[in-house]
A and B are shown apart, each in its own frame.
Chain A
Amino acid sequence: MDNTFVVNIIHRPEMVPEYAEKITGQGQEEDIGRKSLLTESLDIFKFQQETAHKNGLRVTIQMTYASLFNEEAVSIAKHDHEVYGDEIALSLLGLPCNEFRDKYRTKDFCIWMFSMEDKKSIVDDVFGKFHDIFGFYPRSTGSYYMDADLINYIKSRYPSVKCAIATCFEEGPKAYHTCNNSWYTLLDGGPWNPWIPSKQNSHAPAADESEDSGIVAIPHLSRDLLACYDGNGSNFGTHPQNVLRGMIYDTKTWEFPYFFNLVDQYRHLAAYNKGYSYNMMFVGPGWLNKLGRWEAPYELLKKSYEDGCRYYGDLKKQGRCVDMTMAEFADFYREHKTYSEPECALWKDILYGSDKQIFWYLDPYMRAQINMDQGGALVDLRPYAAKLYWPVGIGTKHVQDASYPFLIQEKYRAGYFTHYAGEGTIKSAKLCYKGEEVDLCLCRTKAHFSRDDRTVVLTLDPVEIEFADLTVKLQTKIYFEEGSSTIRYDRVILKMSRENAVITVNEYLVACYGTTEYPEDMTGIKLKVAKTLDHRDIDYEYRCREESLPGAAIASAVIPAIETKLLVGENTGKATGYIREGYAFSPMFTLGFTKELKCGEVMSTWLRLEKAD
């Protein structure tokens, strides 16, 4: 397709905005029916609608349950649908209101945290009320997160729904910590851009029609793919007030170029995704509070929203942006995307000045992050191939934790650097020569993206490794073959200062599993290194054991807790495969291959993810 940058602008008339009650009601007893609160909420909604329309942008109005009881909110939605072509949709955010609390006798408000029984009841209530008011069922819905069971239920009962906001990218433990350990959106491990959720796990994209949940999912906001991974995600997204929350603006001029840089970097992602790129802006009314938000006065909040809408509006006028409603976007997405087509993002730092570059890859089998500042190390890996059924909410094993588990997460389980002892999760390679060892994690480089038929290729700039009496020039190439559930790493020796020198390359992967910073029980993990007629095994017991096998073809780990099998392989039969158990202070396992290389030779290894039966 020709370059197409799509934006979804979404508003919700939330009668009791998150934060607003706590702010406007400070020093007063809680009263979510307070008239001043309702009036302010509607004023904010009107302002947001006017600002979008003034800039020629159409909106998806996500009616909240509370707003369905408010005649003025309903009337605005109907009017703006008629006049501006806005879509009237239905949010599962904004449940709190007296009617809801009277019926459900709870202050819970996050749909994914309710019991399945309550989820069904609430969905039926909210959808039923919407139908009573508007005479049709919505085509779009959403929340901060929607679990697979919830999506499947909605789709089965209300088949008109074709689009939903279904996760916030990397809004997990980091957001929880930022909010003084009181904001329970534990949703790490999902896509950053739209996808078709599988019926088994909404984070994991469907691999084919049989896995298709029937909707197109969009993320809540388009977030900075580097800043969000280390810092509080809520500071770094296409949400102007979130940017203010991060204090990423000039206090004298109130300018915040970072927001526009972020939009433009998303636009640039078209270069890696066959001309398609996407943005979503969804500002809840609590962020436009008349009393200001933290140190930002209302005037700055207002200006930032106006500036944000103006930028999208200007892009639209220049023919560089297409504004769609959510339902329109779902149709567009299905028309232009296949199940197996990956989402790719070669991303650079646009805020800190670090010059760092990372690459994100997403398909129905995995989500992976490659870090060029660490020599192309694999620093995050989510095994979507397992399509892990992970029900959330009251009555399940995961009342709040909706994250898709990782095998590698360099921030939560260290990466290259650990304190004193043990290892962190990462996939990299070490070069060894005459007793010296250098890890490619210490070789900063840059990558170039290319696509060869069905394979995405990252070609890294060569790096130099200096030993005491040998210099080696090495290049890494990383291949993601569509639909294969496999990543291949080639390490090519381009040059050596001593022509006949022989070095040993140790291609290794350290992993564990989890969703947070804290270790899980590794007992029960089965490690194996094998070749045709021989194999060695270790059943994980924290005993620091190691096994190796010359000529091995595969080293693998089966992790029953997340129904995942992780395999690494080397196809020449000239390498030695090994498996390594961890210990209590280093609750990891390692899979790897070592091989001797001369100048001009290549070490090619792969990793594959499978569902473990």
Chain B
Amino acid sequence: MAQAGKGRLNYRCPSCFMRDIDIDMFYDKEKDEYYCLRCQYRGDEKNVLEKNELARFRYGMIGRRITIEDYGD
């Protein structure tokens, strides 16, 4: 089995991201999956992207523009 490398983009582990850890994942081309060295997450690109969307759940106002006019005090 050949060594792992980096994929097309340098994905971070979505599971670690959700606990405020930025850690690069490595790509296993034989299994076509990314995996985390630190935790037990592994997944293909589609799964990584889905989990990245999930990680945004905490940003309840991610799409909202709040301008200076919105400050009443």
Contact = CB atoms under 8 A, between A and B. Distances in A.
A231 interface: yes
Contacts of A428: none
Interface stretch (A347-355, A378-386, A586-594): A347-355
Nearest to B67: A264
Contact of A245 (B22, B23, B61, B63): B22
A450 to B, nearest CB: 10
B68 A351 contact: no
Contacts of B61: 258, 261, 349-353
B21 A448 contact: no
Contact of B20 (A26, A231, A258, A294): A231
A257 B17 CA distance: 21
B29 interface: no
B12 A294 contact: yes
Interface in B30-46: 38
Given A245-B22, A257-B64, A257-B65, A268 B17 contact: no
Contact of A180 (B23, B60, B73): B23
A178 B22 contact: yes
A292 to B, nearest CB: 6
B1 interface: no
B62 A258 contact: yes
A349 B21 CA distance: 22
Nearest to B71: A268
B20 A293 contact: no
A295 B12 contact: yes
A293 B73 contact: no
B11 A294 contact: yes
B23 A292 contact: no
B68 A267 contact: yes
Contacts of A422: none
- A interface, over-half SS: loop
A247 B52 contact: yes
A177 B56 contact: no
A199 interface: no
Given A178-B21, A295-B52, A268 B68 contact: yes
Contacts of B17: 247
A204 B62 CA distance: 34
A508 B12 CA distance: 44
Interface in B1-26: 5-6, 9-12, 17, 20-24
Contacts of A353: 60-61
A17 to B, nearest CB: 15
Interface of B: 5-6, 9-12, 17, 20-24, 38, 48-49, 52-53, 55-56, 58-68, 71, 73
Interface of A: 23, 26-27, 174, 177-180, 231-232, 245, 247-251, 255, 257-258, 260-261, 264-265, 267-268, 271, 291-297, 346, 349-354, 448-449
16 contacts: A23-B10, A180-B22, A247-B55, A248-B59, A250-B63, A255-B63, A257-B62, A261-B67, A267-B68, A294-B24, A295-B52, A349-B61, A351-B59, A351-B62, A352-B58, A353-B61
